[in-house]
Amino acid sequence: MTLYELLDLNLSAGTRIDVQLSIFITVHLAIFGGIIYVDRPLRGKEKITSLIIYTIFALLNYHIMKNQLDISKSLVSEIAKLAISSCCGDSEPAQYFAEQLKSGKYNIKDLSLIFGHLIFYLIVFLSILFDKSLAKMRENKIYNIKN
């Protein structure tokens, strides 16, 4: 493959990662908005169902993003090989990606993906588990909200 083709494919993989991240963030905003908006605590069955559905979503999202990150890493490995070849040794994009790979930034991206999903899972899990209605919070004066 040519350098251009590898760069183009890597850009496509990066775009897919960005789309998955946008979906991930949007779903979390919807979950937190739903928890805040519903004016009654979730019932036990609703909590269990929510956690099962969220777990499936989080696992699927993680695997899709991990797959795209692995594809991107393999493409960058190929770009790095071209960066030391006679055809593309003077290419700044090739040198940039070779340096990214050599510096270990792709390993940090793997860890960020794992920890990001775990942290968000914990936040959603605790939010659903300890969900209380707004009316109940007002009764218990957990916080002061004026009507």
Write the pLDDT tens digit of every residue in 21-53.
999 999 999 988 887 777 777 888 988 998 999
Residue 42 DSSP class: P
Distance CA 129, CA 142 (A): 17
**Residue 145 reports pLDDT greater than 70:** no
Q: What is the pLDDT of residue 134?
A: 52
Tokens of 11: 């850009």
Which residues touch 142 (CB under 8 Å, ≥6 apart)?
A: 132
More confident call, 125 vs 132: 125
Tokens of 87: 């055809």
**Contact present, 3 and 93 (Cβ < 8 Å):** yes
Going by C-alpha positions, the residue among 14, 115, 114 that lies closest to residue 71 is 14
Q: What is the pLDDT of residue 138?
A: 58
Distance CA 104, CA 15 (A): 21
**Residue 12 reports pLDDT greater than 70:** yes
**Contact present, 79 and 98 (Cβ < 8 Å):** yes
Write the pLDDT tens digit of every residue in 39-96.
777 888 988 998 999 999 999 999 999 999 999 999 999 999 998 988 888 899 999 9
Q: What is the pLDDT of residue 94?
A: 92
Kindly report the average pLDDT of the chain as a whole number. Answer: 87
